[in-house]
Amino acid sequence: MSLAIGIDLGTTNSVAALATPRGVVVTQGPNGERVHPSVVSFPAEGGVLVGHEARARRAVDPQHTIYSAKRLIGQNMKAPLVGLALASLPYAVEEGPNQQPIIMARGRRMTVPEVSALVLGHLRKLTEAQHGDEVDRAVITVPANFSDAQRRATREAGVIAGLDVLRLVNEPTAAALAYGYAQRLDEHVAVFDFGGGTFDVSILKIRGDIFEVIATGGDFFLGGDDIDRALAELLAAELTTRAGADPRGHRGAMTRLMMAAEQIKCHLSSNEVAEGTIGGLIVGDDSTPYSLPFRITRQQFENLVSGYIDRTAEVCQQVLTSSGLEPAQISDVLCVGGSTRIPAVRARVADIFQREPAIDIDPDEVVAHGAAVQAAILTGNTAATENRALLLDVTPATLAVGTAGGYVERLLEKNAPIPIERTKMFTTARDYQTRVVIDVCRGESRRFADNEPLGTITLDNLPSAPRGETRIEVTFRVDADGILHVRARDERTGAAQEIHLNVIGAPSGESATPAPDAPAPA
């Protein structure tokens, strides 16, 4: 019998789970590990290591050990945030076809989906070993604010790993499903998802078996990695003072400091002080290793990372405003992701929503738990779950078409329920225009240049006619995975073009403007 599992493919760690008649069972490694690092390493002697074995090589072989790949998936090398990510990664990333990132390791050239597929394949094999059956299907979770290209690339990773991807589910939605709210009526639940690389907050309305997201927001580059980096920078400054050499130019030393920072962060989640020594730090040309003693209090740590916590609070306030709800109308708040273990984070969540967050399910496992339940629902596995929840998600950003003059015409507003389809009519902006270029973007600005360009459709050989007579029908369709499909059709001739948008290869957004042949609203 083949199995369908749920997978939380995370920036720092990943978790897989299977819904069974005995409940949801989390996939374990050979030593009982339930959370598996999203790390892939390529040793000099050959082969590939994934998970805990790979993570152990981050400090000793940083150039050939790949981590935080989720921050690059579905991205464009010209995007400013990608440049920010690359500045802190010790392994090589080059620009490939269509401006997609290509990861270099031990002579290999790999796309980001190929790297992520190794993590997914590792989880698949562990699950098969644990249950004794083939795993061939999966529900994979993604951040709520993932773009169309990031969702497509995640689905591609699943296919490369040999999985039939049943559905992509937003992480906050999966978390709500894990808590079994389908037995309740007319409740509003907030999900605060603060993981290793991304931050999301969603508010859902739950009516029996219907889970409807009514507002969502997030920050794609805000997570535990950023907190680790801030702490590593503090340690690097201290080492510079003590050793007289700056470790920030040495990949191995900075990787050791990043890994130490993560351990210090975790320790301070349950202790008031962290102290010890970080050894093996080579920062000079003579290969002399330095040791860095440290003593950091929880208060010092919280002062250091307060700016990141403030950013999560700003997003929460925006989402509350979008939902039209007051904190008192939220029945429960769920904490998801390892970064929610930080006491200052939980305190801020309680302050924003005026209630203590629920922590019944391990925040590292709750998303995979919900994905496993959804996999059972989609495959009709009634033996594993009686849950029949219907998940209704929303668009994380406004989707629009660039128009003449550098402006946009919106087709789908932010927080529109999906799946959804909308059509608007456009026309030519100039007399006798025989070509129309339709630039698609996402973002909240009325100016095209301030939004993120997604892709382009071109209609050629249109009938030559005075301005305004040619009518172009543009349809946006967002499917259940949150992927955007765009169709443009000349009403007179019936000529049409359709694209399934892929951001890779799209302009960087630094100087994006609609094409000269952009249409005008009809």
Which residues, including other chains, have CB under 8 Å from residue 146's CB and lie 6 or more apart? 74, 154, 170, 220, 396, 482
Which residue range forms the structural domain that includes residue 85?
A: 3-222+307-394
Report how far apart the first and last C-alpha atoms of the chain are (Å, whole number): 55
Return the number of other C-beta atoms located less than 10 Å from residue 293's C-beta: 11
Tokens coding 347: 């305190």
Burial of 91 (0-12, 13-18, 19+ CB in 10 A): buried
249 phi, psi to nearest 5 deg: -95, 5
Are 430 and 514 in the same domain?
yes
**Closest residue by Cα to residue 294 from 234, 359, 342:** 234
Examine the domain organization and report whether 372 and 437 are in the same domain: no
Distance CA 371, CA 375 (A): 6
Packing angle of the helix pair 251-268, 224-243 (nearest 10 deg): 120
Backbone angles phi, psi at 90, to 5 degrees: -80, -15
- Nearest in space to 139 (alpha carbons), one of 337, 365, 364, 372: 372
Is 170 found in the same domain as 126? yes
Residues 350 and 431 in one domain: no
DSSP 340: G
The strand pairing partners of 453, in sequence order, are: 441
Determine the residue type at 193: D
The SS3 call for residue 199 is strand
Q: Are residues 239 and 157 in the same domain?
A: no
266 and 349 fall within a common domain: no
CATH number at residue 430: 2.60.34.10
339: helix, strand or coil: helix
Counting Cα atoms < 13 Å in the Cβ hemisphere of 472 gives: 34
Please state, in angstroms and rounded to a whole number, the distance separating the CA atoms of residues 297 and 305: 13
Residues 146 and 240 in one domain: no
Which pair of structure tokens corresponds to residue 448?
A: 């095209």
Instruction: Answer with the one of 352, 369, 394 that is the final residue of a domain.
Output: 394
Interatomic CA distance for residues 89 and 86, integer angstroms:
5
How far, CA to CA in Å, does 232 sit from each of 2, 225, 236, 281? 44, 10, 6, 13
70 is catalytic: yes
Indicate whether 101 and 20 sit together in one domain.
yes
Whether 136 sits among the annotated catalytic residues: the reply is no
pLDDT at position 48: 97
Give counts: helices (H), strands (E), the chain.
10, 29
Residue 366 to residues 178, 246, 274, 315, Cα–Cα distance (Å): 6, 40, 28, 22
Question: What is the per-residue pLDDT for 126?
Answer: 98
Residues 205 and 89 in one domain: yes
Both structure tokens of 160: 């490369």
User: What CATH number is given to the structural domain containing 261?
Assistant: 3.90.640.10
Q: What is the pLDDT of residue 190?
A: 96
Structure tokens at 365: 């496992």
Query: Active-site residue among 61, 70, 225, 364?
Result: 70
Both 377 and 423 in one domain: the answer is no
Q: Which of 61, 156, 171, 226 is catalytic?
A: 171
Which of residues 360, 394, 428 is at a domain's end?
A: 394
Backbone Cα Rg of the chain: 24
Alpha helices in 35-94 (DSSP H): 52-55, 80-86
| CB distance 8 to 367 below 8 Å | yes
Report how far residue 92's alpha carbon sits from residue 84's, in angstroms, rounded to the nearest whole number.
Answer: 14
pLDDT at 166: 97
My answer on whether omega of the bond before 419 falls inside 30° of 0, hence cis, is yes
User: Are residue 124 and residue 212 in the same domain, yes or no?
Assistant: yes
For 233, the enclosing helix (H) or strand (E) is: helix 224-243
Note if 193 is an active site residue.
yes
For position 509, what pLDDT does the model report? 36
Q: What is the pLDDT along the chain (522 residues), one digit of tens a residue?
A: 799 999 999 999 999 999 998 889 999 999 999 999 999 999 999 999 999 999 999 989 999 999 999 999 999 898 888 888 888 899 999 999 988 999 999 999 999 999 999 999 999 999 999 999 999 999 999 998 888 889 999 999 999 999 999 999 999 889 988 887 545 557 899 999 999 999 999 999 988 778 889 999 999 889 999 999 999 999 999 999 987 878 888 888 899 999 999 999 999 999 999 999 999 888 867 677 889 999 999 999 999 999 999 999 999 999 999 999 999 999 999 999 999 999 999 999 999 999 999 878 899 999 999 999 999 999 988 665 666 677 778 888 899 999 988 999 999 999 888 889 999 999 998 999 998 999 999 999 999 999 988 888 888 888 899 998 999 999 999 988 888 999 999 988 888 888 765 433 333 333 355 666 777 777
pLDDT of residue 502: 40
Q: What is the tally of structural domains in the chain?
A: 3
Helical segments of 326-483, H only: 343-353, 366-378
**DSSP state at residue 22:** T
Instruction: For residues 217 and 200, give the distance between their C-alpha atoms in angstroms, rounded to a whole number.
Output: 6
Q: Which of 236, 271, 304 is the last residue of a domain?
A: 304
171 given a catalytic annotation: yes
Q: Looking at the structure, do residues 296 and 173 belong to the same domain, yes or no?
A: no
Q: Which of 156, 193, 409, 490 is catalytic?
A: 193
Q: Tell me the CATH number at 87.
A: 3.30.420.40
CB 96 within 8 A of CB 104: no
